[in-house]
Structure 1
């Protein structure tokens, strides 16, 4: 069964509208409504006072209509009475300015007042509804870290010191990890440490890295607090919180271990012709966070959003194409923000399943048609489709996203670029942690794995017969963002057969390139000087002839090293070579541009993501933004 529906905010509408909502939901094939995400002010009008009568009627009405409920804990947006009474709940930016209420996510994760009030709210909600027959899932908070990035207040500073004490034990260990003899930053007491606030110049890299770790952990601790309340109350339903693709502030590998079901919010730009590839990366990440377990697309836009500088609508069929992409890549739930378009507030121009113009609209007709199709699908759980994996690591992202490097670059964009290359070849890809496991993969790609905490799993993968590609700025520092004795690539060096000696910023305008597969590819961002330690040179930089791409046998496998960051054509050529050499076949070969093929177990979904009709190699015709599902033959 595939869940279908979206966020439902009945508190924004008179009660006379609610029965019509349920009627139109049934017509559209809705089976699941997410209720109460931003309902704190309606549920709790004052401290110690709760009003559940309206919510009782909403849940009973949905249940009577055969619609299940993903019930939110409503903790994402504290009401005005809470912040007025407890202003210490509010966060401060690195300049010391308070982030005031009037928006959302205006709370400090480490605030005792917020945590106490949130715990009281969750307890009251769960105690009342844990046995309600409509409630099938719990939705904790909302998009952790989305607008609430980092808190630099004194309260956050105190919590950061507690976190550091637990991590390092004593101040000398912290000083060693952060290298505080530099610039006379030596601490003699944890109480001297403050978050990386506005400073005259660059702050300590190790301190900034740990602050980002602490901030992600603080959000995860909030999730754990709410989940514990739900479980201690005896509620048996699965618990989730909605992720936001590869989000920079929040380590989803850590969150994935805690959620029962992975869910994601994804809003590709309809104006970007490559947005379906970016969306595919997010889908593959969600599927990979809990291997073998279906996930839920918790939010997407039925049509246009409101928050870009210029908001394009989705073309006819485009919403369905992107929805089916999620299904093909492991989703067992397709939901939207939101059911009924808001009449007021910051998101009133955001599209909804039921627009202001009502059901006689293209948006609602497409929503209803998708609901009808999804109701007929019964797909196997995902798992085991990919033989290629791309390493993605939040700690490397946090360490790279700092100044004072040989060149500034976007770690996420590098990982996305390599994923796009395999996606263009219709080669299925999983996203994996840097420490694996790598079982079942023929090829692992590690783009700019700068901060390498443990190389053992990658070394064992290659020695056991796997194929590894590492790219520039890999294996540079330890977990504290410190160089190791002996220089760079000290841990992966035995497998790579090279040693990085020096880094140089590089721009396409520099004219430096490397020859590969009969074509010249411009270098970008960074090039490295290599010393060979047994590796074979496959490509050299022009004009100096220095090694650019190497290959080395290690145990039963082999490891490649690309000493630069290249363009789309370079990534595509190398991805094709590596897939062929690894014996990895595409899900379906020779597809026209913009047609993707994704496998879910032994079922294949083909989707045309272009505004033009296409002809597949077997002469099947696909209309613009149309799809077809190839089930395995019945035996």
Structure 2
């Protein structure tokens, strides 16, 4: 199979660890996988000590037998390079490969991901094991692809080993060239931080004020970590391309301080993700009204889709999950595993592997349950997997020939993501607003994408969407503002929230009226602003119109001043000293328009804008759905596929005014039907 064709055929499978099980179980495991219509397994991502039990001594016997047996049963194999878990001989002999905390504590052998990317010795040893494995398995008939490492930057995404400080210094020298330019970028004249020699420059280290570094240094730190991670992954990617060029390359992740878009563009054939929807359930805000729970995982999948329009799920949650001492997730209820599987597929997955085939009997993950329990007897999760396998054996390839479709996109960018980790004047707002917009759109059955704004983003990328929401882009380059102006001029609708456009790429505040780079597009300036905290009470917005609806404004409020005659005031503040002042504006700009929302979005305010724009579900003319059912659309040459996902345990009533076929069962549906609790229908 050519790499470009990797995801054209739908595949269902499981993560499998032959080194954990008696060899007498292997054949029965593979036989039962095929009975469930599984066609692929992932192996070896943590098995370095098996492949290289001593430095320079390589052993492939165990995995040769396992892969040969998988091939006998018609299973394809993804091999993980095992560099997430360096063996004990390595870390003992070469302690410089270990990661170090900001406080200087060396993280020792005993878990996983305890290495640093900057160590030249670790890069050398990683290259050796990758090349040995690639040479050995490049022609194995079962092997179709490789996963580089496992979950880059999971567990920890900051690195402070001596090699990291050296690598950061070299990265800065390449980026800035001179200390004068570095000092200017970091604003080091403030508090006498000016550097006069490169040897004085380090990654952020503990400071008197709770380890708080220079904010511009902190932003560059995140950029460095991302570049350094990608350069480490490239060591392996280049070897795999050279040695096993007919096998595809991916990696799994979506973790902090990593530009996954760039990594995918430069190293991978497609991106992969590990989907555990119950993390969303556990993290729902306490007391939140109408939380989306596991349904909010669809927003995560939208981020994955922005990296790779079609992707693989290397680990799909299949049971209760947790390590011995943390992450105690409950068991999925009957139907939920199937629901989560189709959630991943609806949002772009063309390959899904369950984690894991059988629950481990030892180690930190003895409670991270797979499809099979320890006893290996049939259970309802196995039966549910069999139902999914049967459905996808018939429908999978039709689904794989399509891609997700949306007319609305939420914009993000890495600069603001990383700067917002430290800057509480915009970072926390971005998460709240993005969640509110996603929830408001999702409950109205309006599919949405996530789109990352990058230096490579073009006007054609933006024009795929009728509406763009960019909640709080504090950092905005003039080039980005010009691109968004072109988008609006040519008919697009762009929506901003407070704290927009007032910083440059270094995180310095512009000496311009807020919203800085976006001021010309929005036609307003910010007269005054305030955090809503302490003695400053929350207020409301009064929206113009017949009902003069009120929505809350309770985090950060900007008082707007209209600069252009083309601007319409859509809402005003209802109380406090700025009562009656503009809170929301709409500016006619060319053929399109720019909205400015002077606060942090909530569900109700996002809903007001959705309604005023006249946005509706693309199926509104023929399909009626309750709020608990998600609509996702994938479209291909054979026409659109409409995924209806019921996240409620209770049946949902849906009404079709036209006749459609359920792709999963072949049944013809029309009129009023009942969709079972946690049920899924794919209409064609």
TM-score normalized with structure 1 length: 0.95
Aligned CA RMSD, in angstroms, stands at 2.0
Name the counterpart of 2:586. Answer: 551
Name the counterpart of 1:529. Answer: 559
User: Could you report, residue by residue, the CA deviation over 1:499-534 in whole angstroms, capped at 9, with x for unpaired residues?
Assistant: 234431115981311123643111132111322212
Name the counterpart of 2:42. Answer: 34
Name the counterpart of 1:574. Answer: 609
Q: 1:607 aligns with which of 613, 627, 645?
A: 645
User: Could you report, residue by residue, the CA deviation over 1:520-576 in whole angstroms, capped at 9, with x for unpaired residues?
Assistant: 111132111322212211001121112111000111110001010132222223233
Q: 2:250 aligns with which of 220, 226, 240?
A: 240
| Cα separation, 2, equivalents of 1:312 and 1:251 | 32
| Cα separation, 1, equivalents of 2:274 and 2:58 | 30
Deviation (angstroms), 1:414: 2.9
Name the counterpart of 1:626. Answer: 679
Q: Structure 1 residues 85 and 286, CA, compared in 2 at 3 Å: closer, same or farther?
A: same
* Structure 1, gaps ≥5 residues long: none
Q: 2:467 aligns with which of 425, 443, 451?
A: 443
Q: 2:52 aligns with which of 44, 48, 53?
A: 44
User: Could you report, residue by residue, the CA deviation over 1:404-443 in whole angstroms, capped at 9, with x for unpaired residues?
Assistant: x547625334323322221111111121122542022111
User: Could you report, residue by residue, the CA deviation over 1:241-296 in whole angstroms, capped at 9, with x for unpaired residues?
Assistant: 0023xx332222222313211111121225666233321112222222234xx211
Contact 1:355 1:364 in 2 (8 A): no
SS of corresponding position for 1:504: strand
SS of corresponding position for 1:257: helix
User: 1:594 aligned to 2:647?
Assistant: no
Contact 2:529 2:556 in 1 (8 A): yes
Q: 2:68 aligns with which of 45, 49, 60?
A: 60
Deviation (angstroms), 1:190: 2.0
Deviation (angstroms), 1:357: 3.2
Q: 2:383 aligns with which of 351, 365, 381?
A: 365
Name the counterpart of 1:165. Answer: 173
Name the counterpart of 2:350. Answer: 332
Name the counterpart of 2:537. Answer: 510
- 1:60-459 to structure 2, matched below 5 A, reads 60-201=68-209, 202-244=212-254, 247-258=255-266, 259-269=268-278, 274-291=292-309, 294-307=310-323, 308=326, 310-377=328-395, 378-383=398-403, 385-403=405-423, 405-406=424-425, 409=428, 411-435=430-454, 436=457, 437-453=461-477, 454-459=480-485
User: Could you report, residue by residue, the CA deviation over 1:187-240 in whole angstroms, capped at 9, with x for unpaired residues?
Assistant: 112221111121112311110000011011111112211110001114321110
Contact 1:248 1:394 in 2 (8 A): no
Q: Structure 1 residues 182 and 48, CA, compared in 2 at 3 Å: closer, same or farther?
A: same
Name the counterpart of 1:472. Answer: 498
| Cα separation, 1, equivalents of 2:93 and 2:429 | 41
Q: Structure 1 residues 575 and 189, CA, compared in 2 at 3 Å: closer, same or farther?
A: farther
| Cα separation, 2, equivalents of 1:309 and 1:26 | 31
* Structure 2, gaps ≥5 residues long: 1-8, 285-290, 657-671
User: 1:15 aligned to 2:15?
Assistant: no
- 1:488-507 to structure 2, matched below 5 A, reads 488-507=514-533
User: 1:485 aligned to 2:511?
Assistant: yes
Give the count of matched residue pairs: 625
SS of corresponding position for 1:550: strand
Q: Structure 1 residues 584 and 605, CA, compared in 2 at 3 Å: closer, same or farther?
A: closer
| Cα separation, 2, equivalents of 1:510 and 1:589 | 43
TM-score normalized with structure 2 length: 0.88
Q: Structure 1 residues 310 and 128, CA, compared in 2 at 3 Å: closer, same or farther?
A: closer
User: Could you report, residue by residue, the CA deviation over 1:310-340 in whole angstroms, capped at 9, with x for unpaired residues?
Assistant: 4211110011011111111211111121112
Q: Structure 1 residues 501 and 104, CA, compared in 2 at 3 Å: closer, same or farther?
A: farther
| Cα separation, 2, equivalents of 1:253 and 1:171 | 30
Contact 1:90 1:98 in 2 (8 A): yes
| Cα separation, 2, equivalents of 1:502 and 1:408 | 20
Q: Structure 1 residues 464 and 134, CA, compared in 2 at 3 Å: closer, same or farther?
A: same
Contact 1:408 1:525 in 2 (8 A): no
Deviation (angstroms), 1:309: 5.0
Q: Structure 1 residues 248 and 598, CA, compared in 2 at 3 Å: closer, same or farther?
A: same
